[in-house]
Amino acid sequence: MPQRQISYREALAEAIIEEMARDDRVFLMGEDVGVLGGAFGATPGIYAKFGGERVLDTPISETAIVGYALGAAMAGMRPIAEIMRVDWMTICMDEIVNQTAKMRYLSGGHPEVSLVIRAAAEGGIGLGGQHSQSFEAWFVHVPGLKVIMPSTPYDIKGLMKSAIRDPNPVICLEPGVLYGVSGPVPTEEYLIPLGEAEVKREGKDITIVAWGTMLPKTLNAAQTLAAEGVDVEVVDPRTLRPLDIDTVIASVKKTGKLIIAHEAMKTCGVGAEIAALVQERAFDHLDAPIQRVATPDVIIPVNRALERVVLPQEATIVNTVKAVI
């Protein structure tokens, strides 16, 4: 029987509902997550099912949201805190970086700080420089945080369930442009372990590591290149911290070539870390220099035509592969 197809946002909401039903300690909080169902419609039906005691509409204060969630986690609860966009996580960086990430370590391992902080990330829908950014590298740089960036409905559900059950704080970055994209999701329960990459497409000529909105663009580019005789292997890290570099290196050893594609700015992006790790551990297997496909170091324009020029597209990947090959 073919698997059912549901959207990214439906899979996310389903994961949260299942975990709230499974564990009374799990609750959802954030701006407009209740009656409205989230600013991006990512939490529909949860308020109607669990009510205002477990689905909390908060004031417009990112500092308060994360501070409240951290306190609840230290008291034994398992909060899911939504920050509407990753851009506004800059407002509560002290609570995330200096408090949430370090609290368990500074407390001798007790109490657990089981806390998920969710936010929409990346551009592609014309929201401009303050609503289109990709800050995954910031959080990957912080010891004590785990960072996931699921790119498919299947992955967001399995990773979100694992994140909610994890005894440590997890940052979940959700590519906003993918909320409406549908894909196969089983009806039976499943979990995806944090720190486990997946080969989304097998190939032998070149490896492309991609996540976020760059994953579907990369898979489309791989199809285009296949028609021209180039066999691309696509690896999705899914979790950026801890990073499953072993799967990436195994792929590079097979293909001998590597491109890393992400929508975040090129300078000091997670792609640079992946490139460095492959250079350190698999240099002798490389037949060409590692290349990165990323957004140049500019502010994202609100004009849709200019935004499309700035953000890497499918054609950017195709041309980069041809240059490496």
Q: Which residues are annotated as catalytic?
A: 62, 131
* 237/142 Cα distance (integer angstroms): 18
Is residue 307 a contact partner of residue 123, using CB atoms and an 8 Å limit?
A: yes
* 310/91 Cα distance (integer angstroms): 26
Amino acid type, 316: T
Q: How many CB atoms lie within 10 A of CB 77?
A: 16
Question: Could you tell me the two tokens for 11?
Answer: 């899979």
Write the Ramachandran bin of 296: left for phi over 0, alpha for psi from -120 to 50, otherwise beta: beta
Report the SS3 class of residue 134.
coil
| Paired residues of 5 in beta bridges | 184
* 33/41 Cα distance (integer angstroms): 8
| Paired residues of 172 in beta bridges | 118, 148
Is residue 55 a contact partner of residue 26, using CB atoms and an 8 Å limit?
A: no
Spatial strand order of the sheet with 206-210 comes to 198-201, 232-236, 206-210, 258-265, 291-295
* 241/187 Cα distance (integer angstroms): 28
Amino acid type, 299: I
144 CB burial (10 A radius; 0-12, 13-18, 19+): middle
- Give first-to-last CA distance, the chain, whole Å: 40
